[in-house]
Amino acid sequence: MTPFPKIHDQYVARTVATTVLLTWTVLVGLDVINGLVDEIGDVGKGNYSFFDAITFMVYTIPRRAYTMFPTAAVIGALMGLGQLAASSELTALRALGLSRRRLSISVAAPLLILTGLMVLSGESLGPWGQRSADGLKASAKSRDMTVAQYSGLWAREGDTFLNAQNGRELPQGGVELRDVRLYEFAADGRLESIARVNVAEHRKGGWLLRNVKRTYFETNSVTQTEVLEEHWSSKLDAAALAASARNISRPRYMTSHDLREGIKYRQRNNLDASEFEQHYWGRWFYPLNVLALCLAAIPFAFGTLRSGGAGKRLFIGMVFALGFWLLQTQFVSLAGVYKFDYRIAYVVPSLVLLTISFLLFRRRSG
């Protein structure tokens, strides 16, 4: 066999890449339209306008593209191979001596390149776009609040500025912020004090601050105080803060580096890190998921896809994508419930698909 790639390899790869990109564009477009419909419901809250909603959606496109790519890859690959099978081009290539393994490599090559680009986007452009979108929305809906790209949640109460690196909504209502800084300024703009707060919990009539270390900046001296609890009478909108806290603590939109740091932080403080671990290992197994999906679907091109139209190929692709998603979701949920390693939960569905692919190849070769 001649070295890879040759003209027939390029032809197969180009056909598959074209159908994958077209499918991907359609899926992302539908997801964006659906998201825009949801965003329109928030238009008019504060200064959030229709133009802000459109800008929000544009920022989230990289993240949506990352999420949709595995589904687009398997459906697009099946559509492309189905076209080649229906026109007997796959049969002709096989008659020329091309093995199924060689054809599989021709299909996998462009998908690996696109997957690599998606991995890079998932670690850079996707999280950046989502943070920018969340910051835009929070700022537009509340004048005194914003979610900065790298420095977390910012809010203003008179001459006091609040910064929180993490937060969550409480089950009983309200919001809890962690790793909080309170900056107090005098009327002339001079910094009067900085308070470092471990936990700030919203309660009726104000906030309960826990483990407060405050530094006062006076004309000729600096003094420090430390208290276990302190009450802060503030009229900050707790509902808006809760929404913003969700924006700074959504692990599925973080980079793997931020997820790893979040895991370490929670383990050091005896907090539940399962959600962070789930998404962290999901990032690592993302390329394997795409490869397993597509390789498991390829054997259908040598038989099932030879007859039938585009609807049949689309149906098979959706069955593969949905079935894999359901299988992996169940394993990941079981890992969270029974506390076993998430790596096992992610690798088992991929191994199942790869085993199916291997058995189908052997069967069709027999």
pLDDT (average), residues 206-210: 85
Domain borders along the chain are: 7-124+256-365, 147-249
pLDDT at site 169? 65
Position 27 confidence tier, pLDDT thresholds 50, 70, 90: very high
Please choose, from the candidates 136, 157, 159, the residue with its C-alpha nearest in 3D space to the C-alpha of residue 148: 136
Question: Which residue intervals of the chain are DSSP H helices?
Answer: 7-40, 50-86, 89-95, 100-123, 125-141, 238-248, 256-268, 274-284, 286-297, 310-338, 342-365
> Please, which residues have CB within 8 angstroms of residue 165's CB and are 6 or more apart in sequence?
151, 152, 153, 178, 179, 180, 248
pLDDT at site 1? 47
Tens digits of per-residue pLDDT, 177-196? 878 889 989 888 888 999 99
Q: Is the pLDDT of residue 66 over 90?
A: yes
Domain 147-249, classified CATH 1.20.1630, yes or no: no
State percent of the chain over pLDDT 90. 21
pLDDT at site 340? 86
pLDDT at site 322? 75
Under DSSP, is residue 47 helix (H, G, I), strand (E, B) or coil? coil
pLDDT (average), residues 216-239: 81
